[in-house]
Amino acid sequence: MMSNDTPLTMPDAAAEMVRRRPLVLHGRGYRWITEHISGITERRAPKWWWFATVSSGLLALLAAAMFTYLVATGVGVWGLNQPVSWAWDITNFVFWIGIGHAGTLISAILFLTRQKWRTSINRSAEAMTLFAVMCAGLFPAFHVGRVWMVWFLAPVPTPMGVWQNFRSPLLWDVFAVSTYFTVSIIFWYTGLVPDLATLRDRAKTRLRKMFFGIFALGWRGSNRQWRHYEKAYLVLAGISTPLVLSVHSVVSFDFAVSILPSWHTTIFPPYFVAGAIFGGFAMVLTLLLPARAIFGLHDLITPKHIDNMCKIILLTGSIVGYAYTMEFFIAWYSGNPFERFAFYNRATGPYQWAFLGMISCNVLAPQFFWFKRCRRNLWVIYGVVMCVNAGMWFERFVIIVGGLHRDFLPSSWGYFKPTWVDVCTFAGTIGFFVFLFLIFIRFLPMITMFEVKAILPEANPHHGHGPGGREDRR
Amino acid sequence: MNPSFLHPPADATGKRYWRSLEETADTPEFREWLEREFPEGASELEMDGMSRRNFLRVMSASLALAGIGLSGCRRPEAHLVPYTKTPEWLVPGRNLRYATFMPRRRGGMPLHVTTYNGRPTKIEGNPLHPCSGGATDTFAQASVLELYDPERSRAYVKNGAASSEAAFFAEIERLRADWAADRGRTLAFLVDGTDSPTRERLRRLLQAKYPEAVWCVEEPLSPGHDVAACEIAYGPGLIPAFQFDKAAVVLSLDCDFLGNEDEGGLAAVRAFTGGRKVEKPGDKMNRLYAVESRYTLTGGMADHRLRMPANQIGAVASALVREISGFASGGKPPVESGASPAWIREAARDLWDHRRRALVVAGLLQPPVVHVLAAMLNEVLGNTGNTVKFIRRERAPAPGLAQLAARIREGKVGTLFILGGNPAYNAPADLGWEKLQGSVKTVIRWGLHEDETSARSAWHVPAAHYLEAWGDGLARDGSLLCAQPMILPLWGGLSEIELLARIAGLPRPEGPEAVRTTFRERAGKGSDAFAFDQAWERFVHDGFLGESAAAFVARRADLRRCADFVAAHPMPAAGEGIELVFAPDASADDGRCLNNAWLQEVPDPVTKLTWENAALVSPATARALGLSSRNVKGVLNSDVVRIALGGRFVEAPVLVAPGHANHSITLPLGYGRWKVGKVGEGSGFNAWALRDGTAGFALGARVERTGRVAKLAVTQEHGAMEGRALVREAPLKIFEEDPECVDKMTDEAHMPPLRSAYEHPKMDAPHQWAMSIDLNRCTGCNACVIACQSENNIPIVGKDQVAKGREMHWIRLDRYYAGSEDDPALLAQPVTCMQCENAPCETVCPVNATVHSEEGLNVMAYNRCVGTRYCSNNCPYKVRRFNFFDYNRRQLDSLYLGPLGSKGVAETVKMQKNPNVTVRMRGVMEKCTFCVQRLEEAKIDQKVKAGASPDVLVPTDSVKTACQQVCPAQAIVFGNQADPKSEVARVKKFPHDYGMLAYLNVRPRVTYLAKLRNPNPRMPGADQVGMSSLAEAHGHGPSASPAAGPPQAPHPAEAGRRP
């Protein structure tokens, strides 16, 4: 955890230019961080929290009711048809799984690349990842016609002697997503252990003592434990990193491996990964901006953090925009009339509104982030990230429904309209997601206390000499 | 012991079908046995402390229930009981086929019926009889569902209240005394137009007993215009037999002989499409001219189609007569008709050039004068005796419904028997039949359903279905047909013969007795009892009497009398206002099929409309009237109009029909019934309400918008091919110049050669199943769709689900329009699972539920399917069907209630299911598997036959899929392509064989033979005929949108030419 080694001999003016902004403002120290972050979980829950948790919990129950209805009645309660056999179900799946990318990206890749600013946001981003993956997993599990037979997808030996079809991208999905979820939850929990120990040590009630006592796994903060911890975390980050890239690539194979015009494209894996990071960061900002305001975390989640995330959104949004354009170009360039029609139909067909929504939300809206003023204005940022959230949903809808509803034979062309069950199911999973996040911020430290402490000047072994040291902060 | 063909005596509540003798005894033990999986005491075996005594008791009870004890009993009379005494040829689980026929208004349709353990499940045509040749139509296919319709009438009803058979016949006894007193003066019968010698014999019997009784025949869809014209032209007692196989050029004057008009029956379809069999360049092909108002399947097959309001078709015929008479006499008379002079001139010249090998047919909707004109044309062209032959059909002259109505009005009818038909619903509107029927003292109605007519009758007598009764009839060619029961009447109905016998005072005929008596008159003369028995057995076995077809009668038309008749009946001038055409509907017939769910769900062959009818108007007329039917986000929103004619009106949704004649509205008949079962309830509007007399069309209708919009359920939203080489079409001439032209159509021709990066599993099993569909022969009639539904237990889903795009048919008929919206060409294409060798659906299924068999089938393991639907997404042909709900288990109106909805699918409907095909549950994907159950059965049979010998190959072309078997056009060829002798292997080598979307390298096992058209090069617009694929291939053909065609002048005078 070394800070940047800028040459000490640099002239003052030059040093001023390259000096990094501090990651924790107002000279907050260890004690403040511990008190502030732990305090969120220790104080009485504010009224708004109760209100928000109960209402999002009720919304989550709506999803439960919808899934119950679906299983009891049949997939027909959704608006699916021939030819649109997948619609909101898989759209929502890809939407949520995409959101689940930012967390691991922040935790693992930014960890390996030593991006210290990640420390303020990685805990909540990872939690968000887990919750999003939980929401995502619901859809493929429940979208099948016979949910009670879903275990056929698991490679367990059966007397039937029928094995899974390892050529099917859906099966790859099962492995990719379950691996990702497992690794993410271990990674997240490992990172939680030192902070759980802090909470344990501060616990006053018996219940908290028990709970944190168990989950802190006997953490004492000894040198030996830290060494093990650092190794384990590094290894897990190493395991997670390829997963960040693989999961959404595999999800994109669901489409890319098929033969449908507009699905069968090699650009999908990188384009999906970029889109996932894009959407994931938007969701991180969506959750953290209110949390920052409500819990007074301005000193920890600084304008620099927000600025960095905006830049990532701008970058990945541009990659996504490039991919959209390239799809059209290749469709034209291929000379394949089916492919050409699919994209012509995407832009002008009955789902034009979704296409326009996708373009304006995903390509046009992030362009504001070219301007520093926009990256500083929280209202603009919030507007843009909400656009991106919607736009990423539109993107999946455009790809899935837009690709399916008019494919090879015009005789089979159709149109998909969602039913109230589609809408309520999706709304319910949003409720589930928010509910889980509210539970998380109430009971667990939403900012990694020990890692933030590690980037404070106090943690700098140079003891105030050199950039990033105590003098710099003044 | 003589078998008795009756149920054991029924109890007072009326007859029920039953499963065993115990059930008929209805003991409490039996009731309990029904409830429990194991008989009483069986579970005690599990208990401790089972005593020896108990054990013996249980075992003896089980033995008794198992029927072992019963077989020892002898009863004084023998009933048809299930298998206490098994017929020796019956193997449980194997099917048995019996010959019978379906009574049809223009001659019975000979059938073979497949039964499993006494349950008829599937109808096939009788391959031995030339009127079927193994084929059937949609109505015959669907009639097995009618048999099991749970809403069929089950009880004798008197004035709306349940009564009994005994009470009914007591009433008949009383009435008989009245008739005897007045020699039957007040007695009248109204029967349908089917021919049955036994019925005729009983009629004579009745007539002898009650000489003044009247016997009326009414068939609303077959109003006898053709018969009247035939009498004028050729003399009485004849019906024409058109020889389509001998015709090189056919002109149809509004005659849908390939569709549902039933003009020549299936033999005509086979004969005509046989003339379109092209295997290689140089093969001859017939040419079809069609003049019609609405797009029919015949028009779709035509090489030159002229759209004309129905009332102008007579003028076209008359112009043709004058033109051809000009050729005949050497002069050149002027021509006046709505059609372009060039069209008339060139068509006439073509007919004249092919004289003696041409054929002119007129449609049933057309008035007698058009039929007379057709007869004149046939005469002048020398077709009579060559392509037009006659058979004698003696029929006692019978008054029709109008005469009966007059009699009722005069108060001369006291007792009226209505046997078949449904006059309260479909009598001519001007008769006011409902009121008239109410004024008759006693109306006795015999029918399959309690319908509109029953509601106004004193008595309703439940009818036995034709599959439940003995009977006889005449085929279209005059041969004698035999009907035998496949099952005892499910609800104790009487057959028409039984009822008439009872009315005549005879005892109820024992089984085939009445039919056998009639048969004796015909075949038993001079032969001894043994020979007669043999002849009878053969008659029943074959389903028809061999060599009983009527001989052709030579006859020439009396041109003078024809000309006089034509002169006396001037053609209507191109009239004011809008014309209404009352057309038969492909799904409802005259209304009798409205409660048949298979027929209601099968889309109309042309409009693709399901579950109801709609007023068809041309695009130009729709624009002129400000009407539209628009596909808005997957739903067809259609303007509802009020159509008024002569003081009456109906309200109907509009369906804009490309290719329809301008200034004309087609109203399909048979919908809008008000007393019908759940299936037909509330569907469509009643076009009969506007129809006066027997006219096929009427002029002077007024059309107003109501401002309301109706939602219609159509199965195909998009009619253009978008420049894709799906249905490939070429003119014969181009095909002859370049036989490979079919492979050069559209952009697919420019695709690089297919190469695969992977090794594909070798398909080296001895059987390699494959199919070829000849688009040049397929008319698009839907018979295959219903045959498949019947064979493969395909559920129906209801209008709401069809509108959502969830219909379940495994084979469908795609209908494309090519060319301008006003006058496009119509292309039909059956699409079933292509059984791709390199199937995209198989690779994406995560659980291996759909895999490839070594024989080239893409098979489904329903029990393995979890329902991800990925296979459907990846299927380029979209032939996979998903069970979104428990369609086989739930009521269609409570699908969305899930477990809260009622389960009830009627027990009888379950009896129709093919036991060799899994009934799929919800959440499962299903699809065509080339009738794998038939293939396996054939293979097993062959293996049994082969024994130890290596001869396990199924004999060449011996196994047929359901769609292939039913096809009257013989468009579908199926077989083992690894067998070089097989037809399919031969057909696939034709130069115009192509695979749809083959560029995807999916290697479809189903391939198509391209459609060929045979235009007359001198006809106006001939250079456009058959060019839809070729024109689009080069990018300057008609564009994607049908609306992009050149605008059409609205007046009928200019209408009808191809652009």
Identify the weakest region by mean pLDDT among A51-65, B789-803, B818-832, B896-910: B896-910
Can you give the C-alpha Rg of chain A in angstroms?
Answer: 24
Asked if residue A403 is part of any domain, the answer here is yes
Q: Are B653 and B714 in contact (CB under 8 A)?
A: no
Q: Is residue A25 part of a domain?
A: no
| Whole-structure pTM value | 0.86
What percentage of chain B reaches a pLDDT higher than 90? 37
Q: Could you say which of B635, B815, B872 has the minimum Cβ distance to residue A82?
A: B872
Q: What is the pLDDT of residues A184-194, one digit of tens each?
A: 999 999 999 99
pLDDT tens-digit readout, B543-568? 998 888 888 888 888 888 888 888 88
For A168, the token pair is: 């099917």
Tens digits of per-residue pLDDT, B488-501?
A: 888 888 999 999 99
For residue B601, give the nearest of B800, B778, B882 by alpha carbon. B800
Burial label, A42 (beta-carbon count in 10 A; 0-12, 13-18, 19+): middle
* Domain range B225-392, CATH class: alpha beta
pLDDT the model gives residue B611: 92
- Nearest by Cα to B126 from B966, B1052, B1016: B966
The residue-averaged pLDDT of B599-606 equals 93
By percentage, how much of chain A surpasses pLDDT 90? 54
Cα of A146 to nearest chain B Cα, Å = 5
Cα–Cα distance measured from residue B585 to residue B594, given in angstroms and rounded to the nearest whole number: 10
What is the ipTM score, two decimals? 0.90
- Tally C-beta pairs within 8 A across A and B: 199
pLDDT of B922 above 80: yes
Q: What is the pLDDT of residue B323?
A: 85
Task: Evaluate the omega torsion of the peptide bond into residue A83 and state whether it is cis, within 30 degrees of 0.
Answer: yes
Residue A323 within a domain: yes
CA of A162 vs chain B CAs: smallest distance (Å)? 7
Find the DSSP H helices in A203-267: 206-215, 223-256
- Provide the residue type at B536 as one letter: W
Find, in chain A, the residue whose alpha carbon is nearest to that of B924: A145
Among A82, A254, A334, the residue to mutate for chain B (most B Cβ within 10 A): A82
Q: Cα(A174)–Cα(A154) distance, rounded to whole angstroms? A: 8
Alpha carbon separation from B298 to A415, B787, B918, B1011, B1029 (Å, rounded)? 31, 21, 37, 15, 21
Token pair for B12: 């007072």
* Interface contact B899-A143, CB threshold 8 A: no
Residue listed under structure tokens 């007869």? B375
CATH number, domain of A208, equals 1.20.1630.10
B208: three-class secondary structure by DSSP: helix
CB-count burial class (<10 Å; 0-12, 13-18, 19+) for B548:
middle
For residue A406, which residues of chain B lie inside 8 Å, CB to CB? 718
Residue with tokens 């057995």: B537
Report residue B1042's pLDDT band, with 50, 70 and 90 as the boundaries: very low
Residues of chain B with CATH 2.20.25: 95-147
- Tokens of residue B882, six digits: 């998903």
Contact B898 A174 (CB under 8 A): no
Closest residue on chain A to B635 (Cα): A415
CATH code for residues B581-714: 2.40.40.20
Which chain A residues contact residue B845 at CB under 8 A?
165, 168, 170
Number of domains in chain A: 1
Cα A468 to chain center, whole Å?
31
Q: Give the residue from A81, A142, A409 with the most B CB atoms within 10 Å of its CB, the best one to mutate.
A: A409
Nearest CA in chain A to B850: A165
Per residue in B935-990, pLDDT (tens digit) is 999 999 999 998 888 888 999 999 999 999 999 999 999 999 999 999 999 999 99
DSSP state of A366: G
Write b or e for each residue in A285-306: b if 16 or more Cβ atoms lie within 10 A of its Cβ, otherwise e.
bbbbbebbeebebebbbbeebb
On whether residue A22 sits in a domain, the answer given is no
Best to test chain A binding among B758, B775, B877, B884 (most A CBs inside 10 Å): B884
Choose the weakest-confidence range: B71-75, B829-833, B953-957. B71-75
User: How far apart, in Å, are the Cα atoms of B170 and each of B176, B177, B450?
Assistant: 10, 11, 21
Write out the DSSP string of B11-42: -TT-----SSHHHHHT-HHHHHHHHSSS-TTG
Which CATH architecture describes the domain B95-147?
A: Single Sheet (2.20)
For residue B669, is pLDDT > 70? yes
According to the model, what pLDDT value does residue A469 have?
A: 44
Q: Domain span at residue A408?
A: 31-469
Instruction: Write the CA distances from B206 to A303, B396, B498, integer angstroms.
Output: 105, 14, 13
Report d(CA A345, CA B461) in Å as an integer: 59
The CATH number corresponding to B157-222+397-542 among 3.90.550.10, 3.40.190.10, 2.40.110.10, 3.40.50.740 equals 3.40.50.740
CA-CA-CA-CA dihedral for A230, A232, A238, A242, to nearest 10? -140
Instruction: Quick: pLDDT tens for B297-319.
Output: 999 999 999 998 888 888 888 88
Paired tokens of B194: 């089917």
How far apart CA A378 and CA A372 sit, in angstroms, is 12
pLDDT at B66 over 60: no
Residue type, A396: R
* Amino acid at the residue B384: T
Percent helix, strand, coil in chain A, to 5, is 75, 0, 25
- Taking only the tens place, the pLDDT of each residue in B473-490 is 998 888 999 999 988 888
Q: Which of B866, B902, B1003 to mutate to test the interface with A (most CBs of A within 10 A)?
A: B866
- Report chain A residues whose CB lies below 8 A from the CB of B815: 411
Q: Name the pLDDT band for B118 (thresholds 50, 70, 90).
A: confident
Both tokens of residue B1003? 């290697």
Q: What is the DSSP letter of B494?
A: B
Task: Work out the minimum CA distance from B737 to partner chain A, whole angstroms.
Answer: 28
How far apart CA B732 and CA B728 sit, in angstroms, is 12
Contacts of A414 in chain B (CB under 8 A): 634, 717, 805
Cβ separation B884–A152 shorter than 8 A: no
Sign of CA dihedral B24, B30, B31, B36: negative
Q: How far apart are CA B610 and CA B316, in angstroms?
A: 33
Residue labelled with tokens 């399959």: B448
Residue A126 domain flag: yes
Strand partners, A286: none
Q: B162 — phi, psi (to 5°)?
A: -65, 140
- What's the mean pLDDT when you consider all of chain A? 87
Can you give the pLDDT at residue A72?
92
B720 to chain A nearest CA, in Å? Answer: 7
CATH class entry, domain B729-748+765-1013: alpha beta
Report the distance separating Cα B453 and Cα B515, nearest Å. 28
Residue A9 in domain: no
Q: State the Cα–Cα distance between residues B688 and B670, nearest whole angstrom.
A: 7
Please tell me the predicted confidence (pLDDT) of residue B1041: 37
Residue A3 lies in a domain: no
Separation between Cα atoms, residue B1029 and residue B1041, nearest integer Å: 15
How many Å apart are CA A223 and CA B22, to the nearest integer? 87
pLDDT above 70: percentage of residues in chain B: 87
Calculate how close chain B gets to A169, using CA atoms only, in Å: 6
Q: Where are the domain boundaries for CATH 3.40.228.10 in chain B?
A: 225-392
Beta carbons of A170 and B870 less than 8 Å apart: yes
CATH 3.40.50.740 intervals, chain B: 157-222+397-542
pLDDT computed for residue A96 by the predictor: 93
Instruction: Give contacts of A81 with chain B, Cβ < 8 Å.
Output: 804-806, 884
- Per-residue pLDDT at B250: 93
Shortest Cα–Cα distance, B861 to chain A (Å):
11
Mutation pick from A73, A150, A160, A178 vs chain B, by most beta carbons of B within 10 Å, is: A73
Contacts of B895 in chain A (CB under 8 A): 73-74, 76
- Which residues of chain B does CATH 2.40.40.20 include? 581-714
Give CA–CA dist A339/A349, Å, rounded: 14
Cα A15 from Cα A9, distance rounded (Å): 9
pLDDT computed for residue B574 by the predictor? 62
Rounded to the nearest angstrom, the minimum Cα separation between A158 and chain B is 12
Contact of B459 with B722, CB cutoff 8 Å: no
Which chain A residue is nearest to residue B807, measuring alpha carbons? A82
Whether residues B866 and A149 touch (CB distance < 8 A) is answered with yes
All CATH 3.30.70.20 domain ranges in chain B, comma separated = 729-748+765-1013
Question: Using one digit for the tens of pLDDT, what is the confidence trace for A105-156?
Answer: 877 888 888 777 888 888 888 899 999 999 999 999 999 999 999 888 888 8
Q: How far is B899 from chain A (nearest CA, A)?
A: 6
Return the closest-CA partner of residue B360 out of B302, B274, B289. B289
